[in-house]
Amino acid sequence: MPFQVTIKPSNHQYQAQEHETLLESGLREGFALPYGCRNGACGACKGKIVEGRVDYGAYQENALSENEKHAGMALFCTAKPLTDVVIECREVGAARDIPIKTMPCRVQKMEKLSHDVMVLYLKLPANERLQFLAGQYIDILLKDGKRRSFSLANAPHDDEFLQLHIRHIPGGLFTDVVFNSMQEKAILRFEGPYGSFFLREDSDKPIIFMAGGTGFAPVKAIVEHALQAHCKREMVLYWGARSLRDLYMPQLAGKWQQENPNFTFIPVLSEPLPEDNWPGRTGLVHQAILDDFANLSGYQVYACGAPQMVEAGQQAFVARGLPEEEYFVDPFTFSAGG
């Protein structure tokens, strides 16, 4: 039977199943509790049990001393509720609350989704986890000291693997390696998380997402996080691509629309090919939004993709009444040499 968990001082509440740790259930329900290793070794998730009883689970004593335990502290990554509980901890409210880490990872799986998009699934060392907000990015560190930025396409509750959507830039220093010579089990290093492109959960305004190409990656993370957190806000995703073959995960966005009455998916092709037999929307993706919304004053817009798309959207949407502070962007600026 599930137990109710109340977080102090926010008074947020969620349900934890008997087999789940306090951290697992909190992340599953969309609450950003602090954590690090997720296996009882680092102490980053330490908090107080104010009321109720827990099974403390297996952990390392240097992460939780007996004195701390007697004072009511527990590691939320190992503690499982035995009753309804009230816990006290600092919830992660913004990107500044999350430490930047430099970490190794292994390429667990490579999946080519289209002619020029590869998904990398990165596995962290067994005793490590990366805390991040849905929509943030990491920098892959190359051997010559250069770095390449990629958005995390998975939501925090689904962090067994970090997921990157990588578009091939011919001649690109890193993307050529990914598409031509990288093998599964390859070891990479990265730094992160970075970025302010994440869902503002203190608002109840309806949301318009505008994604161009692989700008879908962080939007995917945000949408999956919002749906996992039972977000009831109206959400519309406009995903722009050149032709049908560039729309590399339409089935997933279509599935969100089928399963969630508050979510709508509108793909927009700028240059559909004759063989596409495309019956849907065409033209520039920001123009499609303008065609559908005469007044944006009551909305939030999250835009990710080419800088030209992001800038065109800003000018046009603000002219339609969108408050400038409600336009959240992640422009993909490609490094010289890819």
- The confidence score (pLDDT) of residue 37 equals 72
- CA–CA–CA angle 201, 158, 327 (5° rounding): 30
**Tokens 């990479």 correspond to what residue?**
188
Residue 258 maps to a domain = yes
Both 212 and 167 in a single domain? Answer: no
- The confidence score (pLDDT) of residue 336 equals 45
Q: Where are the alpha helices (DSSP H) in the chain?
A: 22-28, 66-70, 175-180, 216-228, 250-259, 285-292, 307-319
The residue range of the domain holding 106 is: 96-194
Q: Which of 58, 91, 124 is the last residue of a domain?
A: 91
Q: Give the tens place of pLDDT for each residue, 127-150.
A: 888 999 999 999 999 988 889 999
Q: Give the tens place of pLDDT for each residue, 177-198.
A: 999 999 999 999 999 998 888 9
Which CATH number do you get for residue 111?
Answer: 2.40.30.10
More confident residue, 96 or 79: 79
> For residue 334, what pLDDT band results from cuts at 50, 70 and 90?
low
Q: Which of 140, 163, 194 is the last residue of a domain?
A: 194
Over residues 194-204, the mean pLDDT reads: 89
Number of domain units in the chain? 3
Which CATH number do you get for residue 261?
Answer: 3.40.50.80
Both 304 and 216 in a single domain? Answer: yes
Which CATH number do you get for residue 26?
Answer: 3.10.20.30
Distance CA 188, CA 127 (A): 17
Which of 170, 205, 186 lies closest to 327, judged by CA? 205
Distance CA 71, CA 157 (A): 29
SS3 assignment, position 255: helix
> For residue 242, what pLDDT band results from cuts at 50, 70 and 90?
very high
Distance CA 168, CA 228 (A): 31
Residue 337 maps to a domain = no
- The confidence score (pLDDT) of residue 127 equals 81
CA dihedral over 10, 14, 18, 22, signed as positive or negative: negative
Distance CA 86, CA 20 (A): 16
Residue 336 maps to a domain = no
Task: List all residues 6 or more positions away from 187 whose beta carbon is below 8 Å from its beta carbon.
Answer: 104, 105, 106, 107
> For residue 236, what pLDDT band results from cuts at 50, 70 and 90?
very high
Over residues 313-319, the mean pLDDT reads: 95
Q: Which of 148, 171, 194 is the last residue of a domain?
A: 194
Both 212 and 176 in a single domain? Answer: no
Both 114 and 75 in a single domain? Answer: no
Q: Give the tens place of pLDDT for each residue, 90-125.
A: 777 666 678 889 999 999 999 999 999 999 999 999
Both 73 and 163 in a single domain? Answer: no
Both 147 and 72 in a single domain? Answer: no
Both 87 and 103 in a single domain? Answer: no
Both 107 and 84 in a single domain? Answer: no
Both 44 and 147 in a single domain? Answer: no
Can you spell out the DSSP letters for 154-206?
S-TTS-SSEEEEEE--TT-TTHHHHHHT--TT-EEEEEEEE-S-S--TT----
- The confidence score (pLDDT) of residue 3 equals 95
